[in-house]
A and B are shown apart, each in its own frame.
Chain A
């Protein structure tokens, strides 16, 4: 049995959050630079240039990349031979969020109750997902999820006969109707299969993949390519001002499902994709 101190986990969350709110991910920067070369709209190119300039300014550590410092979502993969000592795991994760909010000067963006709208004042509770895996490892994917993009995310239960085309239509309709409000260029996470509860988690997990890396399944990779081209033909463009870069990537994850179901969840992410992978 490997023992990991709760403090070590908390500290890892603090440093990851302080990093991702000020430093743009290299894969994202490369993707925006590539989009800049291909963007057909002059206004679109200016918007992309502004995002690169924004990243440069944020890296000085004074102003976070985006004022919507988001709801923190942590995906934990914990080996079954790991034991967290000197405190609880969930408690350590939440304490990390609380401390990073203070030290990283993050905005307080969480309400106690969906109707009462009183601020919790420290960005807790973060959303926590756990997977128990074999071995002695502990891995965390730590994401700060803004709400402009989260608000246009959606779930549908299609008929199996709708097939791949039905899934693509569902995604395209979301982007056509609401994409401009979600800070394009967007990252699209799609979860297909599972059930009503698991498809949205698949969609969010799809966003954990490095940009530019296709699905390991050849057919899914092909569908990602087709869907990305279709999204970019909608004309929405950077900031919704018109252009050929509406999305930077489409990542699809599939899972087995009931013979009568075709669950589809789409998690939209804005270009301010703040994510870190931490291994302990």
Chain B
């Protein structure tokens, strides 16, 4: 009897229990919606950045082509044929070999053969821009960690 009374005293009313269940369900729903919203936001951002990277890569490729094109154009404009034509138009004449006189100019430094290397170009193509953490799956990451752990 006493037990029954105690149970009755602490038992929730049915409507209260229902509200609690509904509340819990709604909480779960909100959590789910929040996670879905975050996921959507992140993946949409990643997609936008991905497209941007593609665009930038395309632009870089295009610019590299244009640089090569301009370099070739410059070489065409300064080619031996063009230069002698321009010199002729400016009134210059080719010197007759016998008419050339050798002059000693103190301090004259003769030109040096071409060096086409700049320090910035060395190792420019060594590494990938995208680190593995951005491309590997969870399983691949775990495997990698496992192998690293084993090797250590």
Real binding pair = no
